[in-house]
Amino acid sequence: MSTDAPTPPGPVQRSAHRFLWVALACAVCCIAIAVGLLRSKPLERYGALPSFTFTRQDGQPFGREQLAGRPWVANFIFTRCPTICPVFTQKMARFQKQTDEFGGQLALVSFSVDPEYDTPERLTAYAAKHGADPARWSFLTGDYQQLKGIIVGGFKMAMGRNEEDPQDLPNIFHGSHFVLVDRTGEIRGYYNSEHDDEVERLLREAKQLVRGGE
C-alpha cells in the first residue's frame, strides 16, 4: 500500500494567510490610533489665572511671569499641616519622578496657605525633606490676603483659617486637588489627589500639554 506525500500549501493558501495577517495588523493599528485619539482629546478650559508674584523658597520673586511658556501643576499645602499635606506633598514628589523626562519643560508649584509661618527658610527645609528638585519645583509664600485672592479667586480652590487664632492648626483648611495650568496661564484641569485614577489622569494630561497637545 502506497502513502501519498503531503501536498505543500499552494499560492492561494499562502496568499490567504498573508491577507489575514495584514488585516489583523491593520485592525491593531486602527485600535491603537483610536485609543490615542481618545486619550489626546482637547482638555477643558477653565479660564486664565490673574497675574501674581510671591516669594519662592530661595527668597526670589516668582510668579506667572517665571512660569510663562511651560505647563505647570499646582497644589496647596502648609508645612505644619498634621493631616493631608504630607500625603499630598508625597504625591507631588512621586509626580516629579514620573515626569523627570521633561525636566524644566514641566514646572511644579506648591502654594502655602499658612504664609506667616511658612517662611522661605521653612519652605526650603520642607522641600528638601520631600526631595524637591529646586530647578522644577517651587514653594511659594507671601502676603496671606494676596495668596487667598489667587487661590480662591484665581484657582477657585478653598482656603481659610480661624481668623481669631492663626495658631489653630485644625482650622486651617485648603483644597486637596492638583490643578493643571497650560503654558499661557490657563487652567486646564482639576484632579482629586485622594483618587489614584485622577492622579493618573493628571500625569497623562500633563504629558499631553508638554508634548504640544491642547
Does position 26 have pLDDT exceeding 50, yes or no?
A: no
Q: Which three cell numbers stand for residue 211?
A: 508634548
Rounded to whole angstroms, how far apart are CA atoms 113 and 141?
8
Higher pLDDT, 98 or 15: 98
pLDDT higher than threshold 80 for residue 11: no
Cα–chain center distance at 163? 32
Q: Does the residue 2 lie in any domain?
A: no
List pLDDT tens digits, range 108-138: 999 999 999 999 999 999 999 999 999 999 9
Per-residue pLDDT at 171: 85
Banded pLDDT at 199 (limits 50, 70, 90): very high
The pLDDT tens digits of the residues spanning 34-73 come to 444 445 689 999 999 999 999 999 999 999 999 999 999 9
Q: What is the pLDDT of residue 165?
A: 84
Looking at residue 168, its pLDDT comes to 83
**pLDDT, tens digit (0-9, with 9 covering 90-100), for 78-104:** 999 988 999 999 999 999 999 999 999
Write out the DSSP string of 139-197.
EEE--HHHHHIIIIIIS---EE--TT-TT-GGG-EE--EEEEE-TTSBEEEEEETT-HH
Question: Cβ distance 70 to 105 under 8 Å?
Answer: yes
Angle between helix 196-210 and helix 85-98 axes, rounded to 10 deg:
40
> Is 134 part of a structural domain of the chain?
yes
Contact at 8 Å (CB) between 101 and 132? Answer: no
Q: Is residue 6 part of a domain?
A: no
CA distance 212 to 183: 10
Same domain? 105 vs 28: no
Helix (H, G, I), strand (E, B) or coil at 19: helix
Asked if residue 115 lies in contact with residue 142, where contact means CB atoms within 8 angstroms, the answer is yes
Domain match, 60 and 159 both: yes
The predicted structure's pLDDT at residue 190: 98
CB within 8 A of 112, min separation 6: which ones?
Answer: 77, 78, 79, 118, 123, 139, 140, 141, 147
Closest alpha carbon to 200 in 39, 42, 69: 39
Determine the structural domain holding residue 114 and report its residue range: 53-210
CATH assignment of the domain containing 127: 3.40.30.10
Considering only residues 213 and 51, tell me which one the structure prediction assigns the higher pLDDT.
51
CA distance 154 to 169: 24
Q: Is pLDDT of 205 > 70? A: yes
Residues 32 and 131 in one domain: no
Same domain, 36 and 126: no
Per-residue pLDDT at 24 exceeds 80: no
Q: Tens digit of pLDDT for each residue in 133-176? A: 999 999 999 999 999 999 999 999 999 988 888 778 878 989 99
Taking only the tens place, the pLDDT of each residue in 171-182 is 898 999 999 999
Question: Distance between CA atoms of 208 and 97, rounded to whole angstroms?
Answer: 17
Are 74 and 112 contained in the same domain?
A: yes
